[in-house]
Chain A
Amino acid sequence: MAATTFVIAMSVMTLFWGLIGGVIPWFIPKGPNRGVIVTMLVLTAVCCYLFWLIAILSQLNPLFGPVLRNDTIWYLNYHWQ
Chain B
Amino acid sequence: MSSLFRSEEMCLVQLFFQTESAHNCISELGHLGLVQFKDLNPGVAAFQRRFVKEVKKCEEMERILSKKVFYYKMHQVIILTYISDVNSTFEKLEQELREINRNHAALRQNLIELMDIDSLLRMTEDFFEEAESLLTYSEPPSEDSVFIAGVIKQDRFPAFEKVLWRLFHGNFVLRHAEMQATEELQALRGAVKKDVFIIFVQGDHVREKIRKVCEGFRASLYSCPKTLYERKQMSNSVMTQMQDLRMILRRTEEYRAGVLTRAAEHVQEWSSKVKKMKAIYYTLNLCNIDITQKLIVAEIWCPVSDLTLVQSALIKGSEQSGSSVTPVLNRIQTQQTPPTFNRTNTFTEGFQAIIDAYGVGTYQEINPAPYTIVTFPFLFAVMFGDCGHGLVMTLFAVWVTSQAESLRKWKNEVLNDVVIGGRYIILLMGMFSIYTGLIYNDCFSKSFNIFGSSWSVRPMFHPHGPWQNETLHEYHHLQLNPFVPGVYSGDPYVFGIDPVWNIASNKLSFLNSFKMKMSVILGVSHMLFGVALSLVNFVHFRKFQDIFLQFVPQLIFMLSLFGYLIFLILYKWCITLRSEMAPSILLLFINMMLFDYQSEHVLLYRGQKGVQIFLVLTAVLMVPVLLLVKPFLIYRTRMKTRHQVGEQSRATLSQEHMGDIFVYQAIHTIEFCLGCISNTASYLRLWALSLAHAELSEVLWRMVLQVGLKISSGMGSLMLVVLFAAFAVLTVTVLLIMEGLSAFLHALRLHWVEFQNKFYEGSGYKFTPLSFDSLLKTQH
Contact = CB atoms under 8 A, between A and B. Distances in A.
Interface stretch (B391-399, B469-477, B617-625): B469-477
B476 A59 contact: no
Interface in B693-736: none
Interface string B348-363: 1000000000000000
Contact of B504 (A60, A63, A66): A66
B4 A36 contact: yes
Contacts of A60: 492, 573-574
Contacts, number: 165
Contacts of B84: none
Contacts of A51: 378, 382, 435-436, 439, 518, 522
Contact of A35 (B5, B491, B507, B576): B5
A55 interface: yes
A57 B574 contact: yes
A32 B3 CA distance: 9
B455 A66 contact: yes
Interface in B426-468: 435-436, 439, 451, 453-458, 460-461
Contact of A6 (B4, B491, B525, B577): B491
A54 interface: yes
A67 B576 contact: no
Given A55-B514, A68-B480, A43 B382 contact: no
A66 B570 contact: no
Give the interface residue-count category, chain A: 35 or more
Given A68-B505, A70-B478, A81-B456, A61 B517 contact: no
Given A52-B495, A66-B504, A58 B573 contact: yes
Contact of B476 (A9, A69, A77): A69
Given A36-B370, A52-B439, A65-B479, A59 B456 contact: no
A75 B168 CA distance: 121
A58 B500 contact: no
A35 B506 CA distance: 46
A73 B476 CA distance: 10
Interface stretch (B49-57, B482-490, B540-548): B482-490
B522 A35 contact: no
Contacts of A32: 2
A72 B488 CA distance: 17
A23 to B, nearest CB: 18
Given A4-B490, A66-B500, A72-B503, A47 B478 contact: no
Main secondary structure of the interface of A (DSSP, over half): helix
Contacts of A69: 476-477, 505
A24 interface: no
B498 interface: yes
Contact of A66 (B461, B494, B506, B574): B506
Contact of B2 (A35, A61, A77): A35
A43 B374 contact: yes
Nearest to A48: B435
B521 interface: yes
Contacts of B478: 67-68, 70, 73
Contacts of A8: 494
B1 A36 contact: no
Contact of A61 (B455, B472, B576): B576
B491 A64 contact: no
Contacts of B498: 59
A46 B479 CA distance: 36
Which interface residue of A39, A66, A73 has the most chain B CB atoms within 10 A? A66
Interface in B65-84: none
Contacts of B473: 70
Contacts of A48: 378, 435
A14 B176 CA distance: 106
A56 interface: yes
A59 to B, nearest CB: 4
B577 A68 contact: no
B203 interface: no
A66 B370 contact: no
B412 interface: no
B137 interface: no
B375 interface: yes
B457 A77 contact: yes
Nearest to B513: A58
Given A65-B487, A70-B472, A55 B517 contact: no
A6 B509 CA distance: 24
A74 B373 CA distance: 48
A50 interface: yes
Interface in B357-383: 370-371, 373-375, 378, 382
A70 B466 CA distance: 15
Interface in B534-583: 570, 573-577, 579, 582
13 contacts: A4-B490, A9-B495, A33-B345, A39-B371, A51-B378, A51-B436, A51-B522, A54-B522, A55-B514, A59-B454, A77-B457, A77-B461, A80-B458
Interface of B: 1-2, 4-5, 345, 348, 370-371, 373-375, 378, 382, 435-436, 439, 451, 453-458, 460-461, 472-473, 475-482, 487-488, 490-498, 500-501, 503-507, 509-510, 513-514, 517-518, 521-522, 525, 570, 573-577, 579, 582
Which 5 pairs of residues, A with B, have the shortest CB-CB distance? A65-B480, A66-B504, A35-B2, A59-B492, A9-B494
Given A55-B439, A55-B518, 12 more contacts: A4-B490, A33-B2, A36-B370, A39-B370, A39-B374, A56-B492, A59-B493, A63-B482, A65-B482, A66-B479, A66-B500, A73-B478
Interface of A: 4-6, 8-9, 32-36, 39-40, 43-44, 47-48, 50-52, 54-70, 72-74, 76-77, 80-81
